[in-house]
Structure 1
Amino acid sequence: MSRVALITGGQQGIGLGIATALAGAGWTVALAAERPEDDPSVSAALGTLPGARYFRHDLTDIAAAPALVEHVEAALGPLTTFVSNAGVPALSRGDMLDMAADSFDLVMGVNLRGGFFLAQAVARHMLAAPAADYRAMIFVTSVSAELVSVERAEYCISKAAASMMTRLYAARLAPHGIGVFELRPGIIRTAMTEGVAAKYDARIAGGLVPAGRWGAPADIGATVLPLAEGAMAFSTGAVIPVDGGLLLHRL
């Protein structure tokens, strides 16, 4: 039976790193994002992922979540892996006392609300179908679920809430043999971090990350693979930092 993975935001950055790892290990990959199919990032991703399919989906459109899952499964077969990866940053960084409601609503709408209801639709389908393979749901949060950044408070709040969301899904789905995991990437070199690259280059050189380097999307993909394969099935609910030691408490 084919192993099928749905990855939100899988056309670029961390999501593409995950898609590449799964496709390389034999998964059939479905990518979902709100961009049109002729977007250069979508075309480039599909060109590097054999057999991958793209499904346009806006995470803030909660009513469309069940249809997305139905379309993916009709085209590719039952989902065995779901990776909730898509996310957006704050509209602008600045004093949290000046935060605008539209930035808060956007970040929470995508990173939390949209992620929750798509996961809900996936879980319902997984529970309704007989399981021939191990199944997993993986939520990509951030070290910002724990570390405080007052200049992007809405992002931190969304990731902390998504961490609890992961634990809730883990508890709900564990009796059915579906593993649920949280990944907390650290400072990863992607398009989202290009605007602050110089700042983090200096901080990494100064010892911020014990590993002494930026993370790469491939680092996240390599971590997802054993989770999707079931190698850590009895660790369901685990929070896994992928941050080069950034979250280590040091004196």
Structure 2
Amino acid sequence: MSNKLLNSETKAAVVTGAGSGIGRAVALALTGAGWSVALAGRRPEPLAGTAELAGEHARVITVPTDVSRPGEVDALFSSVRESFGRLDLLFNNAGTFGPGGVPVEDLAYDDWRTVVDVNLTGAFLCAQAAYRQMKEQDPQGGRIINNGSVSAHAPRPHSVAYTATKHALTGLTKSLSLDGRPYRIACGQIDIGNAATEMTERMRTGILQANGELAVEPVMAAADAARTVVHMAELPLEANVQFATVLATAMPYVGRG
């Protein structure tokens, strides 16, 4: 774990999957808005890269974490409590698509479990730890934002594990939103489509469509989605964006299939 100029008076956030993609973009947007941010992810080097991009005056800690392992999640939130004193935001972002282009009948059990363990169980473990801390701290409360996907609404071909977990995240979001009401814990979800990240590189060269054809799809900057996360995060706890969809304008989503 590394530390940079921590200040308990600022709002504190945890961003999982912070070493790249949407997680990195959101972490940078939050630090730019004055937040203290715990950067979590499996690989230390990308986390250090995000911290470096945030700048020497950013208030960050890096905590290598496999979100599918309960002990590592507990250690992450203990580090946040020790460094920041409280937790105002969890951005539940860590995720994996799994092996691409594999038909349902050929998807290996271990590959299914890997996607479920990271995308769903990992999100639950982090939300549970955040919920406990937000319920117990004074002043009470905080916000959880789950990174869903437009696949929470409309699947792509050969994406059964990813799509199933993203649909399940919607149920997690709704349950957390309901159960958090008495404790000033708000929970919302952002569903992002075709942000320019490592995961969407294949969009630029051609990806399988529902009609069996390959097509190049437009992408948008990850920072465009990150701005929406910051907006959701900075609302007073009396207000909540329950669901938001941010996508590349011309991507095949509305009407796809």
Question: Considering the TM-score relative to the shorter chain, is it more than 0.5?
Answer: yes
Q: Which structure has more RCO (C-alpha within 8 Å, separation ≥ 6)?
A: 1
Report whether the alignment pairs 1:52 with 2:60.
yes
Separation in 1, partners of 2:111, 2:156: 15
| Deviation digits for residues 87-112 of structure 1 (CA, Å, limit 9, x no counterpart) | 01112322112111111000000000
1:143–1:186 Cα contact (<8 Å) kept: yes
Unaligned segments of structure 2, at least 5 residues: 1-8, 208-213
Q: Distance in 2 between matches of 1:138 and 1:235?
A: 10
In the alignment, is residue 171 of structure 1 matched against residue 175 of structure 2? no
3-state DSSP of counterpart to 2:66: coil
In the other structure, the counterpart of 2:221 is 216
Instruction: Give per-residue Cα distances to partners, 1:58-102, cap 9 Å, x unaligned.
Output: 111123322220111101221111100010111232211211111
Contact 1:226 1:232 in 2 (8 A): no
Alignment partner, residue 191 of structure 1: 198
Q: Pick from 101, 106, 114 the counterpart of residue 109 of structure 2.
A: 101
1:128 to 118, 122, 136: 136
Q: Distance in 2 between matches of 1:233 and 1:91?
A: 41
Letter of the 2:47 counterpart: V
Aligned residue identity for 2:245: P
Q: CA deviation at 1:177?
A: 1.9
Q: Identify unmatched segments of 5+ residues in structure 1.
A: 205-212
Q: Secondary structure at the match of 1:75?
A: helix
**For each residue in 1:107-157, what CA deviation from the matched residue of structure 2 results, as whole angstroms up to 9, or x when unmatched?**
00000011101110110010001127x721100010111112231111100
Q: How many Å separate the matches in 1 of 2:31 and 2:107?
A: 40
CA distance in 2, matches of 1:16, 1:179: 23
1:182 shift after superposition: 0.5
Kept in 1, the 8 Å contact 2:203–2:219? The answer is no
Q: What's 2:11 paired with? A: 3
Secondary structure of the residue aligned to 2:176 is: helix
Q: Cα deviations across residues 142-194 of structure 1 (Å, max 9, x unaligned)?
A: 01111122311111001110111111101111222222110000011101122
Is the 2:184–2:237 Cα contact (8 Å) retained in structure 1? Answer: no
* Structure 1 residue 249 displacement after superposition: 4.6
Equivalents in 2 of 1:108, 1:12: separation in Å? Answer: 20
Map 1:1-251; keep pairs closer than 5 Å: 1-35=9-43, 37=44, 39=45, 41-49=46-54, 50-131=58-139, 135-199=142-206, 202-204=215-217, 213-230=218-235, 233-235=238-240, 238-245=242-249, 247-249=253-255
TM-score, reference length from structure 1: 0.88
**Range 55-64 or range 11-20, more displaced:** 55-64
Partner-residue secondary structure (3-state), 1:235: coil
Structure number with the higher helix fraction is 1
Q: Within 2, Cα distance between the matches of 1:197 and 1:101? A: 30
> TM-score normalized by structure 2?
0.86
Distance 1:117 1:139, change over 3 A: same
Shift of 1:18: 0.6
Give the percent of matched residue pairs that are identical in Structure 1 and Structure 2: 28
Give the CA deviation at 1:21: 1.1
Query: Contact between 1:4 and 1:78, CA under 8 Å: does it hold in 2?
Result: yes
Contact 1:135 1:230 in 2 (8 A): no
Q: Give SS of 1:58's match.
A: coil
Tell me the distance in 2 between the aligned counterparts of 1:188 and 1:118. Answer: 24
Q: Secondary structure at the match of 1:88?
A: coil
Q: CA deviation at 1:202?
A: 4.4
User: Residues 15 and 217 of structure 1 are in contact (CA less than 8 Å); yes or no, is this contact kept in structure 2?
Assistant: no
